[in-house]
């Protein structure tokens, strides 16, 4: 996968801000795309199986410094909240096989499902050309927030707190 130029990231950021409200929330809730994938361990994950949960869909890569920086917060937050209705799906855009990605996942103790993103799921979510890009989906399966760039634990806490009460 090609690395993104700074100018591309700048224009993508401006277009994202133009389409989103003051907190990055889209004006009309978009349904999460329908998908069915297998994580790197071979477990099937589908959009239908995630209904009723708050879902964080994170597009990332092993070579991306901000992606690597947010992983520990994602892991800790997932471990603290998976029993409370949270699901995190890590969609790796690396040009690797599952076998090649597994040591990285193990090293970073990524306890949430990690999937090798294919062209179909990338087209369905349309994350843009910048990573990390994270989507937060409510229990009804609607995308409520798209964040381009590093997502802090406080952002995860805020969105999960808000959406888990709805």
Distances (CA, A) of 23 to 89, 124, 126: 22, 23, 20
pLDDT tens-place string over residues 116-156: 999 999 999 999 999 999 999 999 999 999 999 999 999 99
Q: Is the pLDDT of residue 20 over 60?
A: no
Q: Is the pLDDT of residue 1 over 80?
A: no
HSE (CB half, 13 Å, CA atoms) of 123? 3
pLDDT of res. 166: 87
Burial of 20 (0-12, 13-18, 19+ CB in 10 A): middle
Domains of the chain: 6-164 (3.40.30.10)
pLDDT tens-place string over residues 73-124: 999 999 999 999 999 999 999 999 999 999 999 999 999 999 999 999 999 9
Question: pTM higher than 0.85 for the full model?
Answer: no
pLDDT tens-place string over residues 38-61: 999 999 999 999 999 999 999 999
Q: Is the pLDDT of residue 21 over 90?
A: no
pLDDT of res. 77: 98
The DSSP annotation for 69-117 comes to HHHHHHHHHHHHHGGGTEEEEEEE--S--HHHHHHHHHHTT--S-EEE-
Lowest mean pLDDT among 9-23, 30-44, 111-125: 9-23
The tokens for 6 are 């700074």
């Amino acid at each position: 996968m090609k690395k993104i130029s700074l100018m591309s990231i700048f224009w993508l950021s401006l277009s994202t801000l133009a389409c989103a409200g003051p907190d990055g929330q889209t004006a009309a809730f978009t349904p999460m795309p329908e998908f069915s994938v297998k994580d790197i361990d071979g477990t099937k994950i589908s959009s239908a199986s995630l209904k009723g949960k708050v879902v964080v869909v994170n597009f990332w890569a092993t070579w991306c410094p901000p992606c690597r920086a947010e992983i520990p917060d994602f892991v800790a937050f997932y471990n603290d909240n998976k029993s409370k209705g949270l699901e995190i799906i890590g969609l790796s855009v690396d040009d690797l096989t599952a076998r090649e990605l597994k040591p990285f996942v193990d090293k970073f103790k990524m306890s949430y499902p990690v999937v090798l993103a294919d062209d179909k799921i990338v087209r369905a979510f349309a994350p843009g050309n910048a990573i990390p890009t994270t989507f937060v989906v409510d229990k009804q399966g609607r995308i409520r927030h798209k964040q381009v760039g590093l997502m802090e634990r406080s952002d995860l806490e805020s969105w999960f707190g808000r959406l888990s009460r709805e």
